[in-house]
Amino acid sequence: MEVPEAVKEWYWGRVKGLTLRSLIYWIIIAIVLPVLSPLFKGVTIATLPSLHWYINAFIVIVLGIVLIFWYAAQMNRLDQELESKLKEGR
């Protein structure tokens, strides 16, 4: 099946945009949060260790995993849009 050039360009543009957004989110999660975490040194919740430790140990990892699932869901949605566009084009 031949995919029209306009559909290819639309899809590739959407994939690039989604990937760039995900990369920016990943940079914020993986670099910015850990760099800023010392600002939370001394901030405690009840008797738990300082909040800066939790940001580096758990929050960054959990947000990274959430980002992976978010990206997969967005790609699935985009693929469904592509499939509907291809069916319309027939």
Contact 80, 58 (CB under 8 A): no
What is the per-residue pLDDT for 1?
A: 65
What residues does each domain of the chain span? Answer: 27-89
pTM here is 0.82
Residue-wise pLDDT tens digits, 13-49: 999 999 999 999 999 999 998 898 888 888 888 888 8
Q: Which two tokens stand for residue 89?
A: 């084009």
User: Over pLDDT 90: what percentage of the chain?
Assistant: 57
Query: How far apart, in whole angstroms, are the C-alpha atoms of residue 33 and residue 57?
Result: 11
Query: How far apart, in whole angstroms, are the C-alpha atoms of residue 16 and residue 62?
Result: 24
